[in-house]
Chains A and B, each alone.
Chain A
Amino acid sequence: MFENDGLPVNTDGATPIEFTYRGKRFRIHNVLNRWCEAGGWWNRISDGIYRPDDNARAIWRVEAAPIGSVTTFELERDEATGKWLIRIV
């Protein structure tokens, strides 16, 4: 469970299985797609700090529902910070 100012998400290994969204618990029923993106790690090097994962992201496009109703979300984890974000697709 990630308890930070990102989204609280339960995972199995790296794969998300449950998350809390607007006060409700959602269960992921189906992963429609997932992908990874590298960020431009060179964009912020002017401060001299090497961040090879800067802005790198892993994205899951999932079907999830509180109880009964299934909604499609994207869960996004910032690879550098481990924070999670969400949006409805």
Chain B
Amino acid sequence: MFNHLSVASAFSFKYGTTQPHDLVARAAQFGAPALAITDRDSLAGVIRFVQAAKDFGIAPIVGVNLALDNSRVTLLAQSDGGWRSLCRLMSVLRPDRNPPTLHLEKIKTLSEYTSNLILLHGPDSQIANLITKHRPDQALHEFNKYRPYFADSVIECVSHLAPGDGPRSTGHAGRMLGFARDHDLPAVITNGVRMLDAADGPVADILDAARKLVPLHKRHVERANNEAYLKDNQQMRDLADEISRAAGERSGRTLLRATQRIAERCILSPQEFGLGGIELPEAEVVGVNNYQEMRALLRSRCESGLNWRYSSSDDLAKARARLDDELATVATLGYESYFLTVADVTDMARGAGIRVAARGSGAGSLICHLLGISGVDPIRYGLLMERFCSPLRRALPDIDIDVESARRLEIYDLVFKKYQHRTATVAMLETYRARHAIRDTGAALGMSQTEIDLIAKSLPHIRARNISKALESLPELRSLNINTPLAAMAIKLAERLDGLPRNIAMHPCAVVLSNNTLPDRAPMLINASGYSMVEFDKDDVEAIGLLKLDILGVRMQSAIAYALDEIERTEERSVDIESVPLDDADTFKLIQSTRTIGLFQIESPGQRELVGKLQPDCFEDLIIDISLFRPGPVKSDMITPFLNARHGFKSPQLIHPDLHGVLAQTQGVVVFHEQVIQIISIMAEISYAEADEKRRALGDFSKQQEICDWFYERASRYPKTVVDEIWQVLRAFASFGFCKAHAAAFALPTYQSAWLKTHHPAAFIAGLLTHDPGMYPKRLILDEARQMNIAALPVDVNKSDTTYRVEENGIRMALSDVSGISEAEAINIVRAQPYLDLTDFVRRAGASLPVTEKLVMVGAFDSLHNINRRDLLLHLADINRSPAAALPGAQMTFGFKAPDLKPSGLPDLNSIEKVQTEIETLGMEVSAHRLHFYGHFLNSIGAVKSSDLLKQRSGSSILVAGVRVALQQPPVRSGKRVIFLSLDDGFGCSDATFFGDTHEEFAQTLFSSKLLLVRGVVRRTGPKGVSIRATGAWDLGAAYESFLLKKSNLA
């Protein structure tokens, strides 16, 4: 049986063509006892390789292919400790993102690690080169040079049946073997694998071209032929014979036996990688000496939390009982360190004044609430610990925390400072998707850059293998000229790159927190942001039992923090948003009015429609609203029965008195995972933890029958009709249900943002404009401010800050949104405020001329000068022409007489020009809405203002117009695409839905025009709910022109 010792997977970025899993599957098919992975410069594929090997029952061998001076060699980890050494070695070799390189001096200092590794001198080694040159004496010298520092050194014979007598030819492989024999050195045979099948050659060529950034040419591709694939046992035996005969031996038996021996020395066990284990931070990290003390610490911290969170003795008693249960579970699992560590991180963040909120199922744990990790009371809102963490599931539960996006890296810094080598960021794999695949393939095939750009930019963000399908099904892509032979070929080949990793980057939010052994378990590198990073992705780190904490930067948290600061600055009082009661009537009135733009989670067109129908009036309603607004419930129409029961059209189906407590909260509709757990627990008389296992199994179609039989038996004391009905509910909704804890955690910032918008709208909108958290462009947010009677105050060199500031009667535009302004420029302008006039500004502000010109054009100097902006621009030119302007900095202030300032008689900008300048310079209009200028036209054709939509009769056909603010194509299970369009017309938002039949004619317009006129049919969906089923869309400017030509027959 042959064991491949040199195998590059797709984790040899832009070199290998095959996923580790597929290589393992093929080796298993051959009946190979072991398989190696030896990627170039990287160990990133190792964990998934080892997992696949475990699944297929193959012994994993792990190594890496590295540069040694100007050549390349392969290092294999020996059994018992070699993996640890390899991790350490790779971490040391990569102080930065450059590919690691070995040389003799470095090897000498790293012999602690290399002595656990076996060195293979293969076809790219210096030895191979010397053998080509017929210099065996020098080759031996080279061999002996490195020999003392490795566990073993081996000659690797590779024949790809390459032409000539260089490396990878049979002749060369034979001479390598002969050299080994002459000097009694160990020799092995490998196939230097980089492909799964011979037919993968062109993929390898495209990767070569993409890596080297060159078009395909004989010179640039590395393979001589198709032979570098994973050959089967017989093929490798034949090859061994051929090489051995070339070396004068009778057969390849000796060579194969030596290969087998090396393989056996390098077999690793899955345990060595930590698969299935858990490695939490040690007790010392949280400030105690041992595990017992850690338990006591967790308990005492939770107990003090009890008095902070609960006051009534009734609540306290309930909480205490639940705490005892949860602590018992945690003790069984030994997860004390986990909770204490996460609490430590949130404490550090709060200590630095950074807002933190939990997300995900962690909010279901009382411990998380008591430790201050989560702000939602799990007892009051019926959240379950078992959904999050259970003794029956030995997987580490996931706690995610949301922090202010603008200050996220500060938390990283705190965590790294405290946890040092026990912590690292996590890698994220960037794989080939449609756009990159078409770019790299197109460039390799020599397509023109414009043609490549055109196709790549028009493609939606889809998998590479779906390109052809997308091109067929999306009408707006039809105009692309993709039928040229070259483009067709590029598309066909691009699909073959599907899912291949291109690169690793830093995961946007995950860090691992572990103990002293982390550097032994995972190779590290320093990423572009300067943090150390494990080379494994989030699934890998979970597989090897590392605690992963997601620290997500949430812009809304920054916006809220900003709003709170503005309130404190302008009103000289501070608001403790965390203790605002969750039942404020005015806040819910705002939500019910559907004026939710800018609010967390509920601002999208679909959500605005849903809150209009649902009319939330308490915090629980927000939890339900967030849970319902997902593709599953929307499509399975859970919403209609819920709304019917809620509005009293039908009575809720509570099925059986035992379940009333569970089902009443959602009008008899099962919305939450927690409800499924409770129903199973009640009817089958089992614990929540066991019920959660059953719930998870329900999602797996193949296990449903088994669960069904079990459930009917366990629930047999209920009438058959009740069990039938409940089983139908469980089966139908288990897979759509949502984790209530997660929704509750989200509902908190939703409520907080709504509260701020209700009571401190100017400060809140200033926060939105500064941190831009939502899906809408800033111009829509600004329009929202106008409609709440908050003025948008123009940029003013003396009053504007780098961020949006609240003033007495409005919000002052920020300097940072002037296009082309640098951060330093904006800061300098603010620092030198106030300015006497334009001349003073030019002298002291240090702004560039183009930026100064833009400031003039948007009226930033209007409050300082009484002449119009065109004259001011001429004046600026005079200032710059005056000789003193050439003098730098401070010298200019002395003896510099400003040029005269006088009106030239030029007319000022008219209001249309002003708005245009504002849009060009600030990206949004400040002085008037863009649609303002179409007012006459829209009135004549009878277009409906968005604020008047609710007055329209259901079923009537209308016209609406506006600026496109959102265009969404959510994935729909049927595969039929629906396009959602939101228009802003200065009076609010109107939302139109385009179904498939309209795409052919109008999709192109929707994607290409910014100002749109839409025809559609009104549908009333509730007291505040209205939607438009669109039947047509036109570019507003074009429509206006044809109107002017009296040719319009739209209305």
Residues of chain A having any CB pair with chain B under 8 Å: 33-38, 40-42, 45-50, 52, 56, 58-59
Which A residues touch B221, using CB under 8 A?
A: 38
Which B residues touch A45, using CB under 8 A?
A: 445, 485-486, 489
Q: Is B51 an interface residue (CB 8 A)?
A: no
A35 contacts B485, C-beta separation under 8 Å: no
Determine the distance from Cα of A56 to Cα of B696 in the docked complex, in whole angstroms.
53
Chain A minimum-CB-distance residue to B226: A38
A42 contacts B205, C-beta separation under 8 Å: yes
Chain A minimum-CB-distance residue to B225: A36
Determine the distance from Cα of A36 to Cα of B224 in the docked complex, in whole angstroms.
8
Chain B minimum-CB-distance residue to A34: B161
Chain A minimum-CB-distance residue to B169: A35
Given contacts A33-B170, A37-B224, contact A59 B216 (CB under 8 A): no
Determine the distance from Cα of A45 to Cα of B216 in the docked complex, in whole angstroms.
12
Chain B minimum-CB-distance residue to A59: B163
B199 contacts A52, C-beta separation under 8 Å: yes
A35 contacts B205, C-beta separation under 8 Å: no
A35 contacts B226, C-beta separation under 8 Å: no
What are 18 A-B residue pairs whose CB atoms fall within 8 Å in the complex?
A: A33-B170, A36-B162, A36-B225, A36-B226, A37-B224, A38-B226, A40-B216, A42-B216, A45-B486, A45-B489, A46-B485, A46-B486, A48-B485, A50-B489, A50-B492, A50-B493, A52-B201, A56-B225
Which B residues touch A50, using CB under 8 A?
A: 489, 492-493
Which A residues touch B202, using CB under 8 A?
A: 41-42, 52
Chain B minimum-CB-distance residue to A57: B225
Q: Is B171 an interface residue (CB 8 A)?
A: yes
Q: Is B634 an interface residue (CB 8 A)?
A: no
Determine the distance from Cα of A50 to Cα of B495 in the docked complex, in whole angstroms.
14
CB proximity of B339 to chain A, nearest CB, Å: 56
Q: Is B257 an interface residue (CB 8 A)?
A: no
A38 contacts B224, C-beta separation under 8 Å: yes
Q: Is B227 an interface residue (CB 8 A)?
A: yes
In the complex, how many residue pairs between chain A and chain B have their CB atoms under 8 Å apart? 62
Interface residues on B, range: 20 to 34
Determine the distance from Cα of A35 to Cα of B242 in the docked complex, in whole angstroms.
12
Determine the distance from Cα of A56 to Cα of B493 in the docked complex, in whole angstroms.
19
Contact with A along B218-240 (1 / 0, CB 8 A): 10010111110000000000000
Q: Is B655 an interface residue (CB 8 A)?
A: no
Which A residues touch B484, using CB under 8 A?
A: 48
Q: Is B488 an interface residue (CB 8 A)?
A: yes
Interfacial residues of chain B within 467-488, with CB under 8 A of chain A in the complex = 484-486, 488
Besides A48-B488, A52-B202, A59-B163, 20 more A-B contacts (Cβ < 8 Å) are A35-B162, A35-B164, A35-B225, A36-B160, A36-B161, A36-B163, A37-B163, A37-B224, A37-B225, A38-B223, A38-B224, A38-B225, A40-B218, A42-B445, A45-B445, A46-B485, A48-B486, A50-B489, A50-B492, A56-B225
Which A residues touch B492, using CB under 8 A?
A: 50
Chain B minimum-CB-distance residue to A45: B489
B445 contacts A34, C-beta separation under 8 Å: no
B216 contacts A35, C-beta separation under 8 Å: no
Determine the distance from Cα of A42 to Cα of B492 in the docked complex, in whole angstroms.
13
Given contacts A45-B445, A45-B486, A48-B488, contact A34 B201 (CB under 8 A): no
Given contacts A42-B216, A52-B199, A59-B163, contact A36 B227 (CB under 8 A): yes
Chain A minimum-CB-distance residue to B493: A50
Which A residues touch B205, using CB under 8 A?
A: 41-42
CB proximity of A41 to chain B, nearest CB, Å: 6
Determine the distance from Cα of A65 to Cα of B28 in the docked complex, in whole angstroms.
44
